[in-house]
Structure 1
Amino acid sequence: MAGASSLNLVREELESTIQQAENSLEQFIEERDQGAHLQACVDCIKQVRGTLSLIEMSAGELLAEEMFELATDIPEGAGNDRDDALGVLSNSLFVLSRYLEYLQQSREEIPELLLPTVNELRRTRRAPLLPESFFYSIRAPLPEGGEIGDLVASEETGRRLRLMYQVGLLGLFKEENTQSSLKLMERALQRLYSLMEPGKGARLLQVASAALEVMVDAEMGTYTERKLLFGKVDRLIRMLVMGDTAASFDKTLVKELLYLVVLGDTQGELAREVKKEFNLLPLPFNDHTLAEERSIMAGPGNEVFRSLSAALKEELSSLKDMLDLVERGSNVDFEEMSALVGRLPKTLGMVGLVSASKALQANQEAVASWGAAGKVEDRQQLMALADAILYVESMVASLEQPRAGKDLKAVETDQATIMANNQLFEARIVVIDETQAGLAMLKRAITAFTESDWDQMHLANVDVTLDGLRGGLFFIDEERASNAVAACQRYLKEKVLGKPGAPSQGDLETLADALTGLDFYLQGLNGGKYEGDDVLKLAESAVKELGFPV
């Protein structure tokens, strides 16, 4: 690109000017009544903008333009109400400097890297945000406007499918069971698409389904802009279900969805179909590489705590291995064990796991005595250390969870309670995992049944499997889910098993909706944070439509 290839000619000047802008801005932040400092910053930004325009670095020029607009909007003597604006401006100068370093190393301009910073500046100025696809061009004509077509389905079916989509959308907005939420939304859109008359609306649902497929397959990030994008799709679904003949949509919605398809860079069936239909050009990056590069420029991301948790777990695993050797009577380096028990509490304390740190500290003296004696003289001390390690493992697991609203430094919970809750939670996970495995086997059996020209042999173990599912859910006090499984079991026994010929395709689709709802609910149970009432309503609505209410 022209911008990247020409950067060497002006890089030193750009870096010097950006540094001058940062220094002037810092001086103004400290001395708000000195407007000359702010004006010097504005002049530097203006010079940077002109230089970037000269070398045709469009993304950098856009960022400089947004910085110029924000800087000129800040008055001399700005009060505390402008602190956020000054902070955003300072961060933008830092990002621009890091972006120039990135270009110097990679020799490839990726304007999308600067888009979040550009939008942060625009958000501060209360200007409309730029879409993710701002720098991407699609030459094929995009559907838009009215005459979107009709939904050929009963009102009850339409409402149920919209509920399925909304349940997934709610999980997406809450960032709970994200992958399962996206799968639920994808399932709903595919069903709606199959029930649509040909037209603009059907094409939009096709593109949205492909975007969700890619979001799942590529495990793409669920940023606010993407959540709002799928919220717009929900509003269109509402109009379709209500039969609103005046419903319409803008082509920018389609472009954003198509951009997600390209950005995910997957080879799913829907993605391939949409890429071919709209002749979508590939990108030199995907969602994950883009996020990684942004993380490099912006500093540590959310992965820091997961990495720290993995490192702590590795050391805890080493400590557990040593205890296992002691239990078996094998030789152990007690000095190494003592050093490990002495080192871990410091790390735990630094990340706020104070109670876990204290639990290990309480065993340091005992471990040191083992080293002096060359053996474990008191078996109770060994058991106490084992309990402490289990407790620490329970606390370290919290590092992998969202930290919003939590103050880990203040956590001082009873050790026995934490361990008991963690063991109970792990036992519950085992039951749920087994239930999910049974549900997956059931789905495969039904799929094989439909693909083998209705060969009942594939359903031989379905009744036993459903009994296991129902019993497992009842065992962990999930009575409503257990009842929904029982309703699916009654439908199969009375309408499918042992009955010649093919069952109604519509009934099988509705059964699949019920199983999808149950699968999503189980995913929520495994995460331990989603109540799932709406998901259960979805499953209950589906089995009711089959004629087996719960």
Structure 2
Amino acid sequence: MVQASLATRSHSFDLVRNEIDQTIKQAETSLERFQENRDQPEELQNCADYLNQLRGIFILVELKGASRLCQETLALTEDMPAGAEADTRLTAMNSALFTLRRYTEYYHQQREDHPELLLPAINDLREARQEKPYPESWFFNPGVGEHPNFCADLPLAPLADKDGEQEAFTRRMRLTFQIALLGILKDRNPEISKKLMARAARGFARLTQGTPKGQLWCLFTIVANTMLDRAMGFTKARKRLLMQLERQARDIVYVGKPAMDKPAPDSLLMELVYLLYRSGSGNPEVVRVLSAYQLAPSKFPDSMMEAHARRLYGLGADVLKSLSQALQEELNQLKDRLDIIERGLEPDLAELSAIGEGLDRVANTLRMLDLDQLARLSADEASRLRQWEEEDRLPGEDELYRLAGSVLAIEDAVMQFVHRGITPETDAMAAAANTGEASVYLQEAIWVVADEARSALTLAKRAITAFLESDYDKLHLANLPGTLHSIWGGLELISDSQAAQVIARIAGSIQQQLLDAREAPSEQVLEALADALTSLEYYIESIGRNEERNPDLLRLAESSLDGVGL
């Protein structure tokens, strides 16, 4: 029955495909005329009429995402303001018509309607009207009556409340959540941010277990672990969802028990359930939640949705691929010429001129792409080559290495066009071309320190676990302070004093609270040490991956130690 419905819809679409294309073209022409002459409101009205016609066609062939896009675009034509606000609306309308054309091509090829692919374009239109954007689950309607118990299969250790320890734990979990959220908003260390988010979610689930708000945090714990397991990304809608959850965490910190006794909004719970559905995960805890809503994991999971979205919105992807290949060919020729000069094989000053001209061409192309830093780097190197030619000399070894470093930096940026697009981060790669970051030996030293530090922290966690399981046998910890102190020295050698200071505090705390103390350590002290070690481990992980270091992770480790007076 479903297959028959799909076939009928596809057949209906084929019958009106030409009319859709023609109507979109007419709408674009009318809008273009209105943009050229704002004193012709009838052209804007013509565009609105064509959009209304398109909306009717899409309703007829049951493409609800396309019909909603037409409806939101129509809303922008009403009461068109003057000035910059009108320009913003007209830009959004142009983009919507372009997306509409691309989606009809997409549906014609795929024969599958995925309205959620159009949600970013729909929300852009709503934001242009200063309306609240739709949530990611806008097209998701499982028809639910009651929510299941999300905490049923989630083992949570009880949290004791002694001398305000619960309050310190609450603030530490919120800080963990905030650092993870900040990393996500800045698109920094996504995997580490997900791990922090999962840790904070579980902490709040422990804190609120047995209360109505506990259901929200148990569900979010499952979602956070699933997003980490399935390598799901963070869209604008998901970032807005996380900010809503941060407000829930803030209420728990500042309001306390009344906030925990207040159930979470159904809309928030459904957003989280939608993420589990979209993940496509077959993990038991995910399947259990979805089965309560008579759902199975989506056959169009998040990874597939991202690929289809790139096809839909990434008209420039093919262009960027061709451009990247052309620039790489140019740069390969330049590297070959540099190699001839470096080897001293028939060196010719005319080669300098040829390399300079090549770099000028690359600079012009980069400038057209608004990659000003990289364009400037290429142009500066071309200028130096002309200067060497005027001085009638070949470059020295250091000068040649500097030139080669610049060419390689440009090549690295060009190779990222295809997968990452053209971003400010791409342009910023010029800044590292001729700095100390280029030292291979320094980088190798950093990797060695990071690897040794990871091993030491893993050993520390195992030793503490063995200490607890053996009824506090201190022999398991005997070598731990010395091992951590050796890592302190390595971090100092690579000029990371703040991380060295944190590891010194952890080593001192283990010595004082676990080795020298006569009584067994409190649960709060052990949790604080575990949080500090984990935060430091995530920080070291970013060093080993040559990613931007996140000092907030060190601040989180220090906060964990401060909270219990370590």
TM, length-normalised to structure 2: 0.77
| In the alignment, structure 1 residue 535 sits paired with structure 2 residue 539 | no
Q: Residue 73 of structure 1 aligns to which amino acid in structure 2? A: D
Contact map agreement 1:442 1:465 (CA 8 A) in 2: yes
Give the Cα–Cα distance (whole angstroms) in 1 for the partners of residues 292 and 71 of structure 2: 36
Give the Cα–Cα distance (whole angstroms) in 1 for the partners of residues 41 and 304 of structure 2: 41
User: Who is 2:458 aligned against?
Assistant: 444
**Structure 1 stretches lacking a partner, 5+ long:** 145-149, 369-376
Give the Cα–Cα distance (whole angstroms) in 2 for the partners of residues 390 and 354 of structure 1: 15
Alpha-carbon deviations, 1:328-365, whole Å to 9, x = none? 89999999999777645522442142343245536868
| In the alignment, structure 1 residue 492 sits paired with structure 2 residue 510 | yes
The structure-2 alpha-carbon separation of the partners of 1:506 and 1:313, relative to structure 1 and needing over 3 Å to count, comes to: farther
| In the alignment, structure 1 residue 166 sits paired with structure 2 residue 216 | no
Between 327-336 and 276-285, the greater mean CA deviation after superposition: 327-336
Alpha-carbon deviations, 1:492-543, whole Å to 9, x = none? 34555799999766544322210222234446667775662x4333212323
Q: 2:487 aligns with which of 459, 466, 469?
A: 469
1:384-463 aligned at under 5 Å gives the runs 384-394=399-409, 419-423=434-438, 429-446=443-460, 448-449=462-463, 450=465, 453-454=469-470, 462-463=480-481
Cα shift at 1:403: 7.3
| In the alignment, structure 1 residue 480 sits paired with structure 2 residue 498 | yes
User: Who is 1:61 aligned against?
Assistant: 67
Q: 1:224 aligns with which of 233, 236, 256?
A: 236
Q: 2:530 aligns with which of 502, 512, 526?
A: 512
Q: Residue 278 of structure 2 aligns to which amino acid in structure 1? A: L
| In the alignment, structure 1 residue 111 sits paired with structure 2 residue 115 | yes
Alpha-carbon deviations, 1:277-304, whole Å to 9, x = none? 6654322333343233333333357999
Between 381-390 and 333-342, the greater mean CA deviation after superposition: 333-342
Aligned partner of residue 138 in structure 2, secondary structure:
helix
| In the alignment, structure 1 residue 96 sits paired with structure 2 residue 100 | yes
The structure-2 alpha-carbon separation of the partners of 1:271 and 1:346, relative to structure 1 and needing over 3 Å to count, comes to: farther
Cα shift at 1:107: 0.8
Cα shift at 1:489: 1.8
The structure-2 alpha-carbon separation of the partners of 1:356 and 1:83, relative to structure 1 and needing over 3 Å to count, comes to: closer
Q: 2:29 aligns with which of 16, 23, 27?
A: 23
- Structure with bigger RCO (C-alpha 8 Å, 6+ apart): 1
Cα shift at 1:250: 0.7
Cα shift at 1:267: 5.7
| In the alignment, structure 1 residue 265 sits paired with structure 2 residue 280 | yes
Give the Cα–Cα distance (whole angstroms) in 2 for the partners of residues 24 and 513 of structure 1: 61
Give the Cα–Cα distance (whole angstroms) in 2 for the partners of residues 332 and 108 of structure 1: 60
Cα shift at 1:21: 1.1
Between 95-104 and 286-295, the greater mean CA deviation after superposition: 286-295
Aligned residues: 529
Cα shift at 1:122: 1.6
Q: Residue 216 of structure 1 aligns to which amino acid in structure 2? A: L
Give the Cα–Cα distance (whole angstroms) in 2 for the partners of residues 311 and 527 of structure 1: 28
The structure-2 alpha-carbon separation of the partners of 1:105 and 1:402, relative to structure 1 and needing over 3 Å to count, comes to: closer
User: Who is 2:20 aligned against?
Assistant: 14
Between 385-394 and 334-343, the greater mean CA deviation after superposition: 334-343
Alpha-carbon deviations, 1:379-423, whole Å to 9, x = none? 8556533331113334655676997779969x998xxx9623333
User: Who is 1:243 aligned against?
Assistant: 256
Percent identity of equivalent pairs: 31
Give the Cα–Cα distance (whole angstroms) in 2 for the partners of residues 310 and 461 of structure 1: 54
Give the Cα–Cα distance (whole angstroms) in 2 for the partners of residues 479 and 304 of structure 1: 46
Contact map agreement 1:190 1:205 (CA 8 A) in 2: yes
| In the alignment, structure 1 residue 129 sits paired with structure 2 residue 133 | yes
Give the Cα–Cα distance (whole angstroms) in 1 for the partners of residues 541 and 448 of structure 2: 12
The structure-2 alpha-carbon separation of the partners of 1:390 and 1:539, relative to structure 1 and needing over 3 Å to count, comes to: same
**Structure 2 stretches lacking a partner, 5+ long:** 1-5, 149-157, 367-371
